[in-house]
């Protein structure tokens, strides 16, 4: 029976949860790095026991960690992220020039083919790569050096490169997303880049149809169809069927098209997960402008006769969090096949009004080898 590993990053440390394929009982390891905020945890699809973690605190700054035994032990690795050449400037919140300054690593993406190669998305937005298992890092400066770079501007959470997608069918193709610059694609392994924001419209920027400047919160793909992308923008849920060359809105009847996370079902490439957020006067905490409990939604295909829970016991009690940063679908119960498009979205009743304790990223060590299996 296959083993399931769930990597959990929180503001108070990291946890590694393991179970068999039934997922009835879980062994919890942690907290690792107690008291440290974990921006991202990710396992290598080539070596199941190779894990990477990005830690960050306001006191001690950024620290990278690596485990070679599935999270039982950890060791610090290279933590030097230096922009290539003269960094130059980007736009600040008020539109004035501001120098590029490294702050932290938001996203880690291990190579699909080499256990020692890993990519890092950082703030201020740039893409770095290590080919020695995280010991040293080099910037892929073609992205930041793109002609639009001086016009990039931070979103409310900073100017972060928060998403990296590697095309499993084309080793030279990389997708990234930046808040608040937009989405970009490289077809030559990161040497050159092009914006892929055609069809995006953002009322909050001077030119709603601009080439860059859109606040993309996340993009996702299914490995069986790497040219089909889904996006959660600051507002709007979007879809592209041509590798980002153009986008169309598929928000449908979601209660809100604002959110942060989006992902694709592991076995059903037309089933999409989002977490709509609606700001209301029914704040859960009077001390802040809290949103209503974020309710995980999945795209219910048109014509489906029924829907089954995607995950049991995901959330517990009343939630005081206002957003989720990442979700990842697992091998959930199947739904009958129907074409995707503007479809009905329904909340998963198991999750409504329950507490979100952490950031969940299911990880399957026994399924990590590249294969033609779309699951």
Give DSSP secondary structure letters for 35-87.
T-EEEEEEE-SSSTT-EEEEEEETTTEEEEEEESSTTSS-EE-------SS--
β-strand pairing of 297-300 with 272-274: antiparallel
pLDDT (0 to 100) of residue 258: 84
112: left (phi over 0), alpha (psi -120 to 50) or beta: alpha
Distances from the Cα of 240 to the Cα of 66, 75, 246, 254, angstroms: 35, 40, 6, 19
- pLDDT above 70: percentage of residues in the chain: 74
Give the DSSP H or E segment for 297. Answer: strand 297-300
Q: Which two tokens stand for residue 11?
A: 């503001």
pLDDT band at 203 (very low <50, low <70, confident <90, very high): confident
**How many helices and strands, by DSSP H and E, does the chain display?**
0, 26
Whole-number average pLDDT of the chain: 78
Task: Write out pLDDT tens, residues 160-192.
Answer: 999 999 999 999 999 999 988 999 999 999 999
From the list 199, 202, 198, the residue with the least C-alpha distance to 179 is 202
What's residue 223's pLDDT?
Answer: 93
Percent of the chain with pLDDT over 90: 53
For residue range 312-362, what is the model confidence (pLDDT) as tens digits? 434 333 333 344 455 454 333 322 223 333 333 344 443 333 333 333 333
What does the pLDDT look like over 61-92, one tens digit per residue? 899 999 999 999 999 999 999 999 998 999 99
- In this prediction, residue 37 carries a pLDDT of 93
Sorted by sequence, the CB contacts under 8 Å of residue 167 that are 6+ apart come out as: 173, 174, 175, 226
Residue predicted with more confidence, 252 or 9: 9
**What domains does the chain contain, in order, with CATH numbers?**
1-79 (no CATH), 80-359 (2.130.10.10)
Of 80, 76, 78, 127, give the one whose Cα is nearest residue 106.
127
Confidence label for 1 from pLDDT (cuts 50, 70 and 90): low
How far, in Å, are 112, 165, 302 from residue 172 at the CA level?
A: 12, 11, 35
């Amino acid at each position: 029976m296959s083993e399931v590993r769930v990597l959990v990053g929180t503001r108070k440390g990291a946890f590694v949860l393991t179970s068999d394929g039934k997922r009835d009982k879980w062994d919890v390891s942690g907290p690792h790095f107690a008291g440290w905020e974990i921006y991202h945890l990710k396992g290598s699809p080539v070596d199941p026991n190779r894990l990477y973690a990005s830690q960050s605190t306001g006191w001690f700054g950024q620290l990278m960690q690596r485990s070679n035994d599935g999270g039982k032990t950890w060791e610090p690795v290279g933590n030097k992220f230096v922009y290539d050449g003269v960094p130059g400037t980007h736009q600040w919140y008020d539109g004035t020039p501001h120098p590029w300054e490294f702050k932290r690593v938001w996203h880690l993406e291990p190579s699909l083919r080499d256990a020692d190669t890993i990519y890092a998305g950082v703030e201020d937005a740039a893409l770095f790569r290590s080919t020695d298992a995280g010991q040293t890092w080099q910037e892929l400066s073609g992205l930041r050096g793109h002609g639009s770079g001086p016009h990039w501007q931070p979103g409310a959470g900073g100017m972060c490169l928060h998403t990296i997608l590697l095309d499993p069918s084309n080793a030279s193709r990389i997708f990234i997303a930046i808040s608040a610059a937009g989405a970009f694609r490289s077809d030559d392994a990161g040497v050159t880049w092009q914006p892929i924001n055609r069809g995006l419209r953002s009322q909050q920027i001077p030119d709603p149809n601009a080439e860059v400047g859109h606040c993309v919160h996340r993009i996702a793909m299914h490995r069986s169809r790497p040219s089909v992308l889904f996006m959660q923008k600051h507002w709007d849920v979007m879809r592209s069927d041509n590798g980002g060359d153009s986008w169309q809105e598929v928000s449908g009847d979601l209660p809100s098209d604002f959110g942060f996370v989006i992902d694709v079902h592991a076995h059903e490439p037309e089933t999409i997960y989002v977490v709509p957020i609606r700001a209301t006067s029914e704040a859960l905490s009077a001390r802040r402008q809290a949103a209503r409990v974020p309710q995980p939604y999945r795209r219910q295909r048109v014509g489906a006769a029924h829907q089954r829970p995607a995950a049991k016991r995901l959330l517990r009690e009343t939630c005081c969090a206002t957003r989720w940063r990442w979700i990842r679908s697992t091998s959930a119960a199947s739904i009958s096949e129907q074409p995707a498009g503007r479809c009905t979205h329904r909340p998963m009743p198991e999750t409504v009004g329950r507490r979100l304790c952490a950031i969940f990223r299911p990880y399957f060590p026994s399924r990590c080898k590249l294969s033609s299996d779309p699951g």
